[in-house]
Amino acid sequence: MLLKLGVNIDHVATVREARYRGRTEGEPDPVEAALVCEAAGAYGITAHLREDRRHIQDRDVTELRRRIKTRLNLEMGNAPEIVGFALKTKPDIVCLVPERREEVTTEGGLDAAGQLTSLSETCKRMNNAGIEVSLFIAPDPAQVEASARIGAQFIELHTGAYAEQFHRKRERQVELERLISAAKQAYQLGVKVNAGHGLNCENVPLLHIVPHLVELNIGHSIVSRALFIGLEAAVKEMLKAMEGYQG
């Protein structure tokens, strides 16, 4: 079973916005970065359109939809304006995430169990428009069950706690067991499983023991590594780390 790589290009846009915020063009261009990632073997491109537009802009998503040939995954909060934009732009899949203005990056999983009604409605609207839905959740049994009830096609397991505990053997094992259990539960409920957050070439190989994974969504470590070896090489290096997954 080939484990697929979705490359998150948000941090390319972060570098651009540091100099060109509020302008209609600037470098580096996250769309051009996406095309490099595609050519290097990425299965898909992920971009998070935040309500405060701190990195990815509306025009970036529109251009991504027009130009990339692989799978476009739009990360987004469940806000009416962003939902409307997604329905108009039609990415292949949306990943619904929690969003707080003050956070640097998405810090935790979505409380799917506490938002059954609103998330079910958004999921239904997306599915009716031909867009698949993923929910970014912690590896928690209640959240996995809620995701299935909502009707999501995918969950994306938040691997942040695993990444943070990676160098503490006992704690790392606890987090791995949580991920394994959640992946098995989702599979039994008919929900496909992605994973992401804090992943890099060092901690990805051990994730191979988590069953039923379809795709890893990875951004920061690839963009960071690209500063030293180039984006194409960084994507290929990550793909190498992902090789050998048995599912």
Domain regions of the chain by residue span: 4-242
Q: At 146, phi and psi to the nearest 5?
A: -65, -40
Task: Check residue 70 and report its DSSP letter.
Answer: S
Cα dist from 98 to 75, 115, 168, whole Å: 10, 11, 27
In the set 11, 38, 55, 75, the catalytic residue is 75
| Catalytic annotation, pick one of 11, 48, 55, 158 | 48
Is 158 a catalytic site residue?
A: no
Topology classification of domain 4-242: TIM Barrel (3.20.20)
69 CA to centre of own chain: 18
* Catalytic residue flag (residue 107): no
Strands (E), 112-152: 132-137
Residue (of 3, 82, 78, 99) closest to 43 by Cα position:
3
Give the residue from 107, 159, 109 showing the smallest Cα distance to 134: 109
Whether 99 is a known active-site residue: answer no
Token output for 129: 């428009």
Q: How far apart are the first and last CA of the chain?
A: 6
- The residue written with tokens 């048995």 in the block is 246
Set 132, 175, 197, 215: catalytic member: 197
What's the pTM? 0.95
Take residue 37 and report the two structure tokens written for it: 């990632």
DSSP summary character for residue 131:
-
Here the tokens at position 100 are 């707080």
Ordered per-residue pLDDT tens for the chain, 247 residues: 799 999 999 999 999 999 999 898 899 999 999 999 999 999 999 999 999 999 999 999 999 999 999 999 999 999 999 999 999 999 999 999 997 655 555 567 999 999 999 999 999 999 999 999 999 999 999 999 999 999 999 999 999 999 999 999 999 999 999 999 999 999 999 999 999 999 999 999 999 999 999 999 999 999 999 999 999 999 999 999 999 999 8
Q: 69, 36 in Cβ contact below 8 A?
A: no
Distances (CA, A) of 85 to 69, 89, 199: 20, 6, 29
